[in-house]
Each structure stands twice: as C-alpha cells, then as structure tokens.
Structure 1
Amino acid sequence: MNSRTLNSRTLNFELNKQEIKMELNSFFEFMQSLKMYDLTQPLSIHTPPWPSYMPLGIQYFKRIAGAHSGQGANGQIITTSNHVGTHIDGEIHFFASGRSIGQVPMEEWIGPGVVVDISDSVNDYDLYSPELLMQKAEIKKGDILIINTGYHRYAWDQPESDELRYFVKHPGPDPSFHTWALDMHLKWIGVDCGSADHPMNTIIRNWHPGSFNEAEQKLIAKYGKTWDEMFPPEEYYQVMHLKLFPKKLVHAENLGGDIDKISNKRVWIGLFPLRGIELESSMCRIMAWEP
C-alpha cells in the first residue's frame, strides 16, 4: 500500500468520524426539541381500582427519625393489585398460554401512533366505531391507538370526579371494533376510562342492573335492538380481552394526564411497565413525544 492510498483512507476515516459526530449532534438537538406529554393518571391510595380489585396500600416500615439516630432512611411497603390507575393488561390476564408482561420485548410497547379524540361525539353508554375514529384522525396499520373518550374528566383526581360514571357508564367499542383492530395490526390500544370493553359487556352489567337498563333503553332508542341482540353474550362478553389477548393485542386502561393536549395528533408513544416475569398486568407510565 503506497502513502497516497494510506493518506486517502485516513482522510476518509476522519471525514466519516466528522459526519457521524454531526449526525449525533443533530439527533441530540432533535431529541431536546421534542415536546413530551405524560398520559399517566396520578397514583394514590385514593385511586380506585377496577371494581372488586385490591386498591393501593402504602405503609412505612422504616423512618429517618432524626439525623443521628433512628434508622436513617425512609422505606415503604406497597400492596396492590395490578389494575390500579394507569396500567397495561397483559396477555395472561385472560389467556393462560400468553406472555407475561416481562416477556414482552420493549419494542412492542414503543412506536408511532395516534391519540384520537372522540369526546365531542360520545356520552354515557355510547358506542364508538372504527369509522368514527377514522373520521377524527389518521390511523395507520401497525399504530399504537389511544382513544380519548373524554371520560378521564371523571377520574378520581379531577374536579368532575364521578367513580360510577367513570367505571360503569363510559362509552365502549361497537360490534365491529375488535375485528377492525386485528385487521389494522394495532400494536396496543389505550383508553382514558375504566375498561377497553364496554362496561355492559363485563360483569358490571350484573352488578349494576339499573345502569344496564339505562344502557339498553338508550341502545333500543338508537339502534332498535336489545343489548343481547346487538351483543350476543357468547360472542361479546369481555370481547376486547378474550378475543384479542390470544392475538397479542392488549390494551392499557385509565389513561389521563396530558391526553387533551395531543388530540387527534400523530405522535411517538412509549409505555413503560415493570419487567415482571410473573406479572399478568402492570401499572405503567405512558408518554408521548411530538416534534
């Protein structure tokens, strides 16, 4: 190898290093310019779990108790179910042969998506359809889909807090929604209310017969069908859980936080659960980033 060739290779190497450095600087500048949104509901002992689940409990097992005496640190014990506040339902929550939360690669929790705001189009017990969502925002195959029903305004931490409305009366998917979600190959779904299923397609129907009667009368007035005619129980009971989890399509519930700030926008979304190998579900932090 002559000196000219060696000098040329050295020069190319130095130029490549400069290009890489410039690309890194551009990347960091871009990341610093991103707007970050927290779509997570605050967590407290006052945060209600899904009905019948264990709530969050927190107690101290050690306290600082003085600078030069006592135990010298604060420590707490937490007892809770996995379904308190913002959480992701895992596959094995309803499908015993599925993956636990800790077995799912982080790549499946992060990616492009859209926050679709239908809050001006739905009310108590209403149904939302794929067509309604697609009218509001661009939804692409493979997206993370977050649905803003507006019912986060009834969460425990809000001025209009209404636990019954939040868990028992929130809108839910129409009969076609679950098959559309699979056809779209959605990564995961998020909702700002108590469940991704309509509450009247869950055990809540039996626990609140008065509310079920209200929901059915509203359905008959709008569609001319009883609830069981519209949603045959053998097909639609917990359909968003029972039929989607075996297909690796899970959902997060009880979103809130900054969700109204990114209505009908395409954003980069990340969900960060505990890496629990045995966990059927997990409380989590959900973030979105916008250029």
Structure 2
Amino acid sequence: MKLYDLTQPIGINTPPWPTYEPLEVKYFKRLSTHRVNGQLIKTSNHVGTHLDGERHFWTAGRDIASIPLEDLVHEGVIVDLSDIGEYGIYTSKDITDRVEVKEGDILIIYTGFSKYAWYQPDADEEAYMIKHPGPTIEFAEWCKKMKIRWIGVDCGSADHPMNTVIRQLRPDLAEECDRVMREKYGKGLDDFFKPEHRQLMHTELFPHHIIHVENIGGDIEKILNRRMLIGCFPWRFVDGESSICRVVAFDLEG
C-alpha cells in the first residue's frame, strides 16, 4: 500500500484564514535547564490543513469528536480543476466531466492554487487566499444530492473567496474579480452570489453533515483524477468547531 500525504506543513509562518488567529509556539522547558524540551501552542482552528466542522457554522451540529470514523475515512476521488483559473466558477459538471463520482464519496478538488501556498517557491498569500476559484449554489445542491461525505480543497476556502467576508475586506480585489467574471462569463459578482447564499459551502452543507477540509497540499499533484481510499484525521476534539488535521490518500494497489 502506498501512502500520499495531502497535508501542508504547518509552523509559525503558516498564514491563518483572514481575520483568524495565527499559530504561536513557545518553549516553556529546555534541555539545557530542565533536561527536557516542552512547548506550548496557541492557535485558532483555521490554520494550515484543517477540517471545518459542523459547529463552525451550525450551533446544533456535531462537534469534531462526534464525527464517525466511517465519515472521515472512505473511498473518494481527487479531481483536477486547475484549468478553471483565477476567480473562476466551477460547477458539478466540471467535476463529472473529469471523474466518476459515486454517492457517498469523498471529493477532493485540486484548483492548482496550492502552488501559491506559504511553503512553496512561488508563495503568494494574496493569490492563495483571495483569487482561487469556487462554486455557486448549484454545486452545493449537487453535493447534497450525491451525499458527499466531505470535500477537500487545495486553497484557502471551499467557498469562492468573493462569497465570503473577503469581498468586504478587499474591495479592490472584489472590483478586479467582478471585471474578470464579466469578461469570462458575461455576469458579475452580484449575479453569481446572492446575499442569502453567502458562504454557501458552509451554511448550506453543514446541516446536511457535509463538511470540508481546507488547505489541502502535499502530494496532491501525484494523484489527480484518481479514485483512492482517503482519510482525514483531526483531533478527537470534544466541543470542537473545527480542527487542524492530517489528510492521507491510500493506494491499496500499491
């Protein structure tokens, strides 16, 4: 069995999602004085590769500790959507034209924006967090129909960045996105994203137990458009709304 690690490395230089607290690490014991090294960490749950849990956007949702292993580890597909491009929109057809998706699958989406992640030679935090593609409500409805277990993305958010608070935080790039969309699709931001569907990948899907992992990375480029056994391994976190995690794809044929 061959293993593929789909997890970003994480450290104090890993950027959190905009407006969230970064990772802080310090030593409280050192070998020189205590004969042992010990560290303390302080972080939000939205740094590096992490699982957005139901309670992140749904008060009545399951905490991280309550998610069954059968939901976290299952067969699934990794689909290459890197041709969608900056500020692009992807649909369910973009997925099904490239891979076969079965009911109950895990779905990992490669946008190509992991090349801009903080640890890459072409690191670009602005592009990584703010310019990646994303879906509309059509895609969310398809995910519910297919009973997708969880979704993974190799960028800052499972939602289109301009369907999040980023649109208000960076009005300059919102204007740029609107221009790009009108040139490419003949429609602008307000046409794609209605106020009632803000952060739809969170608000629409979490009550249906369809959650997602953001900041997928690692070996993802080695297994595009393939079906594999996929596992997400967060903390068994009581009352956790989300959790930093490890994501692994298992090639059972070796």
TM-score by length of structure 1 reads: 0.85
How many equivalent pairs are there?
Answer: 252
Alignment correspondent of 1:53: 20
Deviation at 1:71, TM superposition (A): 1.5
Q: Does 1:268 align with 2:229?
A: yes
Of 71, 74, 77, the residue aligned with 2:37 is 74
Distance 1:249 1:118 in 2: 20
Quote how far apart the aligned CAs of 1:222 are.
2.6
2:4 pairs with 1:43:
no
Q: For 1:224-235, what aligned pairs fall within 5 Å after superposition?
A: 224-234=186-196
Partner of 2:48: 85
In 2, Cα distance between equivalents of 1:197 and 1:237: 9
- Residue number in structure 2 paired with 1:31: none
Partner Cα distance (1:88, 1:100) in 2: 11
| 81-90 vs 169-178, greater mean Cα deviation | 169-178
When Rg is computed on C-alpha atoms for both structures, the one with the higher figure is 1
1:193 matches 2:160 = no
| Aligned equivalents of 1:105, 1:203: Cα separation in 2 | 31
Map of 2:243 onto structure 1:
282
- Tell me the distance in 2 between the aligned counterparts of 1:186 and 1:283: 21
Percent identity between the two aligned chains: 52
- Secondary structure of 2:31's partner? coil
Q: Which runs of 4+ in 1 moved over 3 A?
A: none
Looking at structure 1, the residues matched to 137 and 68 of structure 2 have their Cα atoms a distance apart, in angstroms, of 31
2:220 aligns to what? Answer: 259
Query: What is the CA-CA distance between 1:103 and the residue it aligns to?
Result: 1.2
Q: Letter of the aligned partner of 2:30 in structure 1?
A: R
1:276 Cα deviation (Å)?
0.8
Letter in 2 for 1:215: C
* Structure 1 CA distance for aligned equivalents of residues 35 and 239 of structure 2: 33
1:174 is displaced (CA, Å) by 3.1
Tell me how far 1:191 sits from its aligned partner.
0.2
2:118 equivalent to 1:156: yes
What is the rounded CA distance, in whole Å, between the counterparts of 2:72 and 2:191 in structure 1? 36
AA in 2 matched with 1:39: L
Task: Report how far residue 209 of structure 1 moved.
Answer: 0.7
For the aligned residues, what is the CA RMSD? 0.9
Tell me which of 118, 130, 133 is aligned to 2:95: 133
In the alignment, the residues of structure 2 paired with residue 261 and residue 71 of structure 1 have an alpha-carbon distance, to the nearest angstrom, of: 44
Query: Cα distance, 1:150 vs. partner?
Result: 0.4
Using the TM superposition, give the Cα deviation of residue 105 of structure 1 relative to its aligned residue in structure 2, in angstroms: 1.4
Could you list the runs of 5+ residues in structure 1 that have no partner in the other structure? 1-33
Match of 1:237 in 2: 198
What is the SS of the residue equivalent to 2:207?
A: helix
- Stretches of structure 2 that go unaligned for 5 or more consecutive residues are none
Larger relative contact order (Cα-Cα within 8 Å, sequence gap ≥ 6): 2
- Residue 16 of structure 1 corresponds to none
Distance 2:57 2:137 in 1: 20
Deviations 1:1-57 (A, max 9, x none): xxxxxxxxxxxxxxxxxxxxxxxxxxxxxxxxx110000000010000001111001
Q: Cα distance, 1:135 vs. partner?
A: 1.3
Deviation string, structure 1 residues 133-184 (Cα, Å, up to 9, x no partner):
1111111111000000000000000011000000011110134100001001
**Given the two structures, how large is their TM-score scaled by the length of structure 2?**
0.97
Among 103, 113, 117, the residue aligned to 2:76 = 113
Shift of 1:83: 0.3
2:64 corresponds in structure 1 to 101
21, 31, 44: which one pairs with 1:64? 31
CA contact 2:136–2:200 (8 Å) conserved in 1: no
